[in-house]
Every structure is written in C-alpha cells, then in structure tokens.
Amino acid sequence: MKLLVTGGGGQLGRSLVRRAGAHTVIALPRSQLDIRDASALTAALAAHAPDAVINTAGFTGVDAAEHAPALASEVNAWAAGLVARACAERGVPLLHVSTDYVFDGAGARPITEDAVPAPLNAYGRSKAEGEQRVRDAGGTVVRTSWLFAAAGPSFVHTITRLALRDREIRVVADQFGRPTWAPDLADALIALAAMPERPPCVHVCGDGATTWHEFAAAIVEGVRIYRPIACERVVPITTAEFATPARRPAYSVLDTTLARTLGLPIRPWRLGLARTLAEELAKEIGR
C-alpha cells in the first residue's frame, strides 16, 4: 500500500514514516506541498498515485489562531476541502486528522463520533469547518487529542524543560482529555487506510482519561528516572488561574468504542510516554 501524507514534516508525519513497515509512505512537508495550492495537490496525486491520502497538515497553534483566525480557517477548513475534493475526483480515500477541540467540553461523559461540534475557540471552529468539508467530499475524519512524540514540540517537551529548570511547575487540573502517542495514532491511520471501507468519523486517542496536571506529574516522574531534576512540586491550578487567549474545553475526553470495534490500537498513554522519554529525552538530558 502506498500512502501520501500531507504535512509530512510534523511529528505525526514523521511517525507515519517510521511506522510504515511494509507499506510505502510518501511524507511531503509544506515546503514540498502546500495544501492551499489546488494545482500542486492535483500534481502530487498524479505523480505518486497513492492508494490513500492522510492529511496531517494544519494550522495547529490554538492560541495563535485567536490572533489569525482567517489564516487558521484558510488552512484548516478551506484547504482541507481542497484536499478532500482532489482525492474524491481521483477516487482516492482520504483520512483527515482532526481534534477534540471541536467540542465545548461541557459534558462529563466521553464524547462519541455523532456528537455535534460546538467549538469554543477559533482553532476549533476552523477544524470543525474542515471536518464538514471533508465529510461532504466523502473523506474520513479521524479525531485525536493531546498528541505527543519524541520528535517535535509537545507538552512533554515543555514540561521536561521546566522540570529541569524550575523547582515548581503549575499546571491546570480541571481540563480532562486523553493524551495520544503519535506512533500509536500512526499505526491506527495505516490500519484504517488498509480497510476496504471506513466510517465517516472515528476517534483514535490514548487509553485513559487524565488532566494536564496528572499528565505533567507523570512526565516529571519519568524524567526523574534519567537524572536529578530541579522540580520538587507539580502544583494543580484551575483554568481561571492560567489565562490563555483561546478558551479550552473542560472535558474533551473522546469515546474510543468505535475504534476498538474496528480493531484499531488503543494503548495506554503512559506506555507511549515511557517510550518517548526513553527514546528521545534521555539523549536530551545527557544520558
């Protein structure tokens, strides 16, 4: 199977290359394929003739989107539609990666695929619009959450840096979600691409709901395995105490029942965290 990956320079694109196995993964970074360029999309599909396309490209700055909503919409909505239509015209299946931030997080139960999006911020609105354009063209939306990997910026990298530098880290404890290790998501995307039929939307994320505070505490404990650190306490705070330009959902835990039914890998996020620290952070902190 040959897969064409847009946004191939990101942590998910790199993970797809690493997890390709017997498959061929052509991961094109933005410098080689700007998804806003319809003619470039058509040319890439013609040149590579993929069996499926995985769109990981996007404007991912949640707070930055508040200051540049038009750009976020251009990339996450309009351009996602271009990708979907280009794939539909050639009969190529499309998997489009989206986010838990399309929801307002007002509930207290895991969110299923048929829940109606109600985003709280510009980033979420742009992704929700992109989802609709993809589904209208017959593509599959794959929602995930709190993505991290050994390579590339992520919450894991941020907390690791702070743990080495600061005695105390203050982290929000009233926002719930599911951290997702990028290689696990890559495995699921490859498995989905190989299926003869796919649902219009599926949730793929790590097993186990948690808070940013609990996630941070696990990172600190993991880093401590490799060397002494400065951090003595991870202090829980409320969202109100940590103001950000973009509002975040309080409970964006995605339901993964459908993914499990499809046989997709839904593994505990703590396993992915341990692998991340062992693979990359050990080198960064001098061991």
Size (the chain), residues: 287
The token pair that represents 85 in the structure block: 């239509």
Alpha-carbon distance values, 30 to 34, 87, 121, 180, 187 (Å): 5, 18, 25, 23, 22
Strand, helix or coil for residue 204: coil
Q: Decide if 209 contacts 110 (C-beta within 8 A).
A: yes
Interatomic CA distance for residues 2 and 223, integer angstroms: 37
Q: Which two tokens stand for residue 171?
A: 């982290």
Q: In one letter, which amino acid is 65?
A: A
Catalytic pick among 101, 123, 226, 251? 123
User: How many Å separate Cα 35 from the centre of its chain?
Assistant: 18
Nearest CA among 96, 142, 151, 84 for reference residue 265: 142
123 noted as active-site residue: yes
**Active-site residues: which are they?**
123
